[in-house]
Amino acid sequence: MKKFEKTLDLVMRFLMAAAMGALILFGSWQVISSAIFNKPSTFTDEFLRYTLIVASLIGSAYCFYKDEHLSLELVTDRAKGPFKIILSVFIEAAILFFVIYVFIIGGFKLAGTAINISPVMHIPMKALYMVEPISGILIVLGRVLKYVELFADRKAQKGENA
């Protein structure tokens, strides 16, 4: 399990680093071609737009995986006892429902029906749209790994107390 977790972490970090490197490299070229040569590149404009989408979706999946996502803890921090547990379970279930329904199911439907081609790069938009369900799958995998680790820790704590 730990090996799978490390591999997943490595893959997501590599994808984010590659996307950020491409954003820096092609963004710099876009500025140079526009400011110095007075002829902005249309390829880099479209490429940067798509790369930013990929970086955002993979980055959000990585934040969920590391449990560093944006969350409103105003209510959960004030809750106590069994209500806090019930509230936490409800919030996790709502997150999973949203991710499964919107990112995974919606993403596959979007990618499955896409027939358009990008105007400059001439790549099928289906390829870009597939990043959404991939991100959703990575989010769900990250949450499931968190739950497995949580239950394993609780089981180990019960074993120590017995």
Q: Is the pTM of this model over 0.75?
A: yes
Mean pLDDT over 137-161 rounds to 82
Q: What is the largest CA-CA distance in the chain?
A: 74
User: CA 57 to CA 75: how far, in whole Å?
Assistant: 27
pLDDT digits (tens, 9 = 90+) for 110-130: 999 999 999 999 999 999 999
Q: Mapping DSSP to helix (H, G, I), strand (E, B) and coil, where does residue 21 land?
A: helix
pLDDT digits (tens, 9 = 90+) for 38-76: 888 888 989 999 999 999 999 999 998 888 877 767 777
Confirm if 118 and 108 have CB atoms less than 8 A apart.
no
Question: How do the domains of the chain map onto residue ranges?
Answer: 2-161
User: CA 50 to CA 127: how far, in whole Å?
Assistant: 10
User: CA 93 to CA 38: how far, in whole Å?
Assistant: 52
